[in-house]
Structure 1
Amino acid sequence: MSNTKKTGVSFDVQESIKYAEDSVVSQTLLNKDTGTITLFAFDEGQGLSEHTAPFDAVVHVLDGQAKVTLGGEPHDVRAGEMIIMPANVPHALQAEQRFKMLLTMIRGE
């Protein structure tokens, strides 16, 4: 589906990405100069190591549960919740159970 979904056509975001054993799967839905929208599926125990990004990002939890660490402070996030990750703040993510998220990154100030 990477950049192949036509605008104005509905689709089931939950079914658009599948879990893979011992893996993190990602799929870019939209990639523009102004930002990106990416789906992720994390198997239990998988994660993203601490890093920073030069732009604000929003994590919208679609399924499961994860721990998001922002600036050294852990936050438990569950299906239906969102968390905003500010630009230039170190963050990491660890799936405490299988976990799907929609990541929206906003480029700009």
Structure 2
Amino acid sequence: MAIQHAKPGEVFDVGPLGDAIADTKTSTLLKTATFEVLRLNLPAGKVIAEHKARGEITVQCIEGRVTFTAMGNANELTAGKMLFLSAAEPHEVQAMEDSSLLVTLMLAKK
């Protein structure tokens, strides 16, 4: 079965999950040839080791609290906070609480 992504003009919910956060898996909300948007759900204590994305990214915290380390700085993201990184910038994420992030990746041309 193909993964369902949002279609142009379709409205979809990216609000807080509340109690359902623990049971909700990370999912790609939409993907085109130029960008991808995913909802990244992380349980408290989860660490995504340092890595980099080929293109520019934004990360917006929908709920919870994470420590996002990049460019020599550890920044706390809480609900409503957002950050931007240039392409290929190494970064790491650690969930301090059950957290949900909206991640937008600009897809670099091959």
TM-score bucket of the superposed structures, by smaller chain: 0.7 to 0.9
Please tell me the residue identity of whatever aligns with 1:74: A
Question: For residues 68 and 35 of structure 1, what CA distance do their matches in structure 2 show?
Answer: 21
8 A contact 2:60–2:101 mirrored in 1: yes
8 A contact 1:53–1:89 mirrored in 2: yes
Do structure 1's residue 9 and structure 2's residue 6 form an aligned pair? no
Counterpart in 2 of 1:75? 75
Question: For residues 4 and 34 of structure 1, what CA distance do their matches in structure 2 show?
Answer: 15
Q: Mark the CA change 1:8 to 1:98 in structure 2 (over 3 Å): closer, same or farther.
A: same
Question: For residues 80 and 37 of structure 2, what CA distance do their matches in structure 1 show?
Answer: 17
TM-score normalised by length of structure 1: 0.83
Counterpart in 2 of 1:27? 27
Do structure 1's residue 49 and structure 2's residue 49 form an aligned pair? yes
8 A contact 1:54–1:88 mirrored in 2: yes
8 A contact 2:16–2:63 mirrored in 1: no
| Unmatched segments (≥5 aa) in structure 2 | none
Please tell me the residue identity of whatever aligns with 1:41: N
After the TM superposition, list the runs of 4 or more consecutive aligned residues in structure 1 that deviate by more than 4 angstroms.
Answer: none
- The alignment yields a C-alpha RMSD, in angstroms, of 2.4
Q: Name the count of aligned residue pairs.
A: 106
| Unmatched segments (≥5 aa) in structure 1 | none
Aligned-pair identity in percent equals 27
